[in-house]
Structure 1
Amino acid sequence: MTIKKMDWSAGEWLNKPQSAQKEGDFYKVMPEKGRDFWKKTLYGFEYEDGSALLANWDNNTAVEVSFLLSSFTELYDQAGILLYHGPGQWIKTGVEVNDGIPQLSAVVTDGYSDWSLAAVPEWFGEEVTLRASIIKDAVIIRARTQHHAWRTIRVARFPYPTGNQAGPYTTSPTREGFEVTFTRWDFTSPDQDLHTDPTGE
C-alpha cells in the first residue's frame, strides 16, 4: 500500500471559498453561499462555481478525502470529493443534508447532471471518508466512517484516461456560515475489485 498524503497547500482552488485556514493537520473551509456544481437537469440552472481544492489525479491511484460531519445541520450543507476532467465533465460525491438527515450523495455530470442519494442518519457527528478509484472506464465510489465499514455508493462512467484532477470540495447553496473541517486528503493504491474492500487507512 503506497499512500501519498497531500499537504493542503499542494492543491489549487477551482473557485476559492469564502475562507480556508489550517488548524494543525486539519483544514477548515467555509464555502460562499449560493455556489454549487450542477448542470441543467430538472432545475434548468447551471453551476460550476463551487469550491474544490484539486491536484492532478493519476488513474492508477485512488483518492480519499476525510472530513467531520458534526457541522452539517441544514439543507444542502455538503462536502466530499470532486473528480474533475473539465467544464461539464465531473463527478461530485460526498455527504449532504437532505430531508433533514445526512445523505451519501453522488452527482455524475457529462453535460447534464444526475443525482443519487442514500440516507446515513447514523453517521452524524462522525469522521467520514470518501474514496474514488478507477477500474477500466468506470469510477467506484465508496464511503465509510470510523465506526461503519466501507459501502459502495456508485459505479459511474468516467472514461478519461488523462487530464483528470481530484480533491476535496464543499458548497453551501442556501445558507451563510457553513464550515467543514477536512482531516485528510490522500492518493493511495487503487481498488482491485468492485466486491473487495480497499485496504489501508
Structure 2
Amino acid sequence: MSSPTGHDLSWSDGDWLNPPAGAREDGSHLLVTTRQDTDFWRTTSYGFVHDDGHALLFPFPAGTAVEVSFVADFDEVFDQAGALVRVDPGTWIKAGVELSDGVPQLGAVVTHGTSDWSLAPVPGWAGREVTVRVSRAGDAVTVRARCDGEPWRMIRLAWLDPAAQASAGPFCCSPQRAGLQVRFTRLTAGPADTALHS
C-alpha cells in the first residue's frame, strides 16, 4: 500500500458537528473534552439512534485521504476516538479505538441507514499515539490504522457513493459519561492511496 505524503490541516478551518464541552489548541495539538452520553449509532441490535458525537469535519472529495492522529486514556466502556467520514445522518463511517470488553479495540462502524460494527483487540495500543487513515477512491473508502510508527493495518473496505458530497475529520464520543479528553496530535490531507494492497 502506498500512502502519499499529505499536508497539515488547520484545526480552525474545520466545522464542528455537535461541538464538544471543550476544544482548545495546545501548541499544534487540539485538546477535546466530550459532553455527556455522546455517540454515533443507528438502530442495529440496540434499537436507538445517536447522532450527537463530536466531529471536526473538512471536505473529503473522491481521490483524497485524511489522516487523524490522537492520544487518549480510555477509562469507561465505549470511550472512543478516531476518524469520521460523513455524508448525512444516515450515511457515515467511523473508525478508531474504542474501549470494549475491558480492552482497547480497533474497530469501524459503517452506516447506510443502519449501523454495523467490527472490532479487533489492541491492548498494546493503550495510551499510545494512534493514526487512522481514510482514503476515498472510486466507490470505496479504505480504512487503515497504526500505532506510533508501526506498519499500517487494514481495518475496513467500505462502499460509498462516488457522487456523494462527504466530509471527514477527527471524532470522539463517550456514550457512558462526560469528560473524556482526547489529544488530537495531527490532521493531514492528501491524495488517496494508490493501491488497496501492499
Aligned residue in 1 for 2:135: 133
CA distance in 1, matches of 2:187, 2:149: 19
8 Å Cα contact 2:20-2:54 kept in structure 1: yes
TM-score by length of 2: 0.94
Q: Cα distance, 1:2 vs. partner?
A: 5.1
Distance 1:161 1:130 in 2: 23
Q: 1: distance between equivalents of 2:162 and 2:175? A: 28
Q: Report deviation, 1:148.
A: 2.3
Determine helix, strand or coil for the equivalent of 1:118.
strand
Give the stretch that moved more between structures: 24-33 or 146-155: 146-155
The letter for the 2-side match of 1:38 is W
Aligned residues: 195
Q: CA deviation at 1:168?
A: 0.4
Aligned 8 A contact 2:62 2:138 in 1: no
1:11 paired to 2:4: no
Partners in 2 of 1:28 and 1:99 — Cα distance?
26
Name the structure 1 match of 2:29. 26
Counterparts in 2 of 1:1-201, with a 5 A limit?
1=4, 3-69=6-72, 71-196=73-198
Alpha-carbon distance between aligned partners in 1 of 2:166 and 2:140, rounded to the nearest angstrom:
13
Q: Is the 8 A contact 1:85 1:160 kept in 2?
A: no
- State which drifts further: 156-165 or 34-43: 156-165
Taking structure 1 as reference, are residues 90 and 21 closer, same or farther at Cα in structure 2, changes over 3 Å only?
same
1:53 offset after TM fit, Å? 0.3
Letter in 2 for 1:116: S
**RMSD in angstroms over aligned alpha carbons?**
1.2
Shift of 1:10: 0.5
Amino acid at match of 1:21: R
Cα-to-partner distance string for 1:116-145 (whole Å, 9 max, x where unaligned): 001100111210000011232111100001
Name the aligned partner's letter for residue 13 of structure 2: A
How far residue 18 of structure 1 moved from its aligned partner, in angstroms, is: 0.7
Could you list the runs of 5+ residues in structure 2 that have no partner in the other structure? none
User: Structure 2 CA distance, aligned partners of 1:14 and 1:93?
Assistant: 16
| Alignment partners' CA distance in 1, 2:138 and 2:132 | 20
1:147, distance to aligned residue in structure 2 (A): 4.3
Q: Distance in 2 between matches of 1:145 and 1:2?
A: 17
**What's the TM-score once normalised by structure 1's chain length?**
0.93
Checking the alignment, whether the CA contact within 8 Å between 1:132 and 1:141 is kept in structure 2 is: yes
Identity within the alignment, %:
49
Q: Secondary structure at the match of 1:32?
A: coil
